Amino acid sequence: MGYYALFYEVVDNFAELRPPFREEHLKLADQANQRGELVLAGALAEPADGALIIFRGEDPTAASSFAENDPYVRNGLVKHWEVRPWTVVVGGEARNKVTEIQGES
């Protein structure tokens, strides 16, 4: 299983436009989290021009499907989205691999 980063680039007035869609967006995110697909999610700040959502799975399908069904995307609040594989080196399950490589227990 691998990690996949979903990047959102949002419109300039995103914070003002999102309230009608926020509940549905958060419900979609919570459902993906409950299924074990969505690991972490949140807005980027300084500047507040995007978001980063981390998925875990065999392939990027869950991340792409999330974006395609997200009300923020469907209603034009996201100008551009992209899914990229993310190679985790330290943290989470990667910690076990580092420990194995170093011969620690």
Per the CB < 8 A criterion, the answer to whether 84 and 59 are in contact is: no
Given a cut of 80, is residue 93 above it in pLDDT?
A: no
Mean pLDDT of 33-58: 96
Residue 97 has pLDDT above 70, yes or no: no
Torsion angles phi and psi, residue 51, rounded to 5: -145, 160
Checking DSSP bridges between strand 50-57 and strand 2-10, what pairing results, if any? antiparallel
The pLDDT of residue 91: 84
What pLDDT, on the 0 to 100 scale, is given for residue 92? Answer: 73
Q: How confident is the model at residue 103 (pLDDT cuts 50, 70, 90)?
A: low
Tokens at residue 24, please? 């549905």
Phi and psi at residue 57, in whole multiples of 5°?
180, 180
What DSSP assignment string belongs to 44-66? E-SS--EEEEEEEESSTHHHHHH
* Per-residue pLDDT tens digits for 3-43: 999 999 999 999 999 999 999 999 999 999 999 999 999 99
Per the structure, the count of domains in the chain is 1
Q: Which CATH number is 40's domain given? A: 3.30.70.1060
- Residue 100 has what pLDDT? 57
- Which residues form the domain of 14? 2-102
User: Considering the entire predicted model, what is its pTM?
Assistant: 0.87
